[in-house]
Chain A
Amino acid sequence: MKYLLMAYVNEAAWPKMTKDEQEQGMAAYTAYREALTTAGVLTGSNRLQPSSTATTVRLANGKSQVLDGPFVESKEQLGGYFLIDVADLDAAISWAARCPATSHGVVEVRPIWGVPA
């Protein structure tokens, strides 16, 4: 089954970290991706630009409304994702627990709406 692991992290914390800490942080994510790849479960992954770059689009009174900023203003913002293919929810949770984001944010685990067989 496919699951999307969404890393919600505190964006304000990253710029405050020292260069060493940032490098260590990046390396932890690289290693995590490496482990996912070696286990053969990684389907896709990307890091997102900060939510200050986000633009929100909706339809209001029949007209497109474009707004600057993320959908929800919150300390924790979606910072990246890992799309994985594993046997079940427990396996997905055990991968989520290893995600470096759990130490500076939260990881939301959501099953992908699959095509019924």
Chain B
Amino acid sequence: MKNHQPTSAAAPIMDAAAIQRALKRIAHEIIEQNADLKSVVLAGIPLRGVEIARRIAEFVREIAKIDVGTGVIDVAMHRDDVGTRAQLPVVRASKLPVSLETRTLIVVDDVLFTGRTVRAALDAISSFGRPARVQLAALIDRGHRELPIRADYVGKNLPTAAREQIQVRLQETDGEPDAVWLLKE
């Protein structure tokens, strides 16, 4: 994620209220789709996926009065492009429940794009164990998939050109007000 600043005074695609509404709706959908909510673990992909997973878990608690598990699934060491880029991605420790066998693992990320990060996440998850099922939640689905991967829960579908960039900013991870920006190159 490059550190571009928004180009002009243009309004963001989503503001803080819109992001919260989208995450609340995802929480409702997760409750609806998973009869056994106690088996659900929300595993965020660093950095922003972790914060988004935390917020969704909070909404689930508010709505259903059930604590769903949360975790971290880092994908940097499972990527398939190590050695082809001049700079390496920063690796972080993953944190998942010890036994995944009976759990529904929901992978959470900010932007779903090519699907390669999700592929790496699936690979990483398999080294921890074999979850009963794996689902995918993303705040933004911007299209341009390069792999047969789709999201189960989407905050906003955002058709983009490949050259455009989606920039998600969250107060907790970026120290800026919550917003989703569309940056044209």
Tell whether A and B belong to one assembly. Answer: no
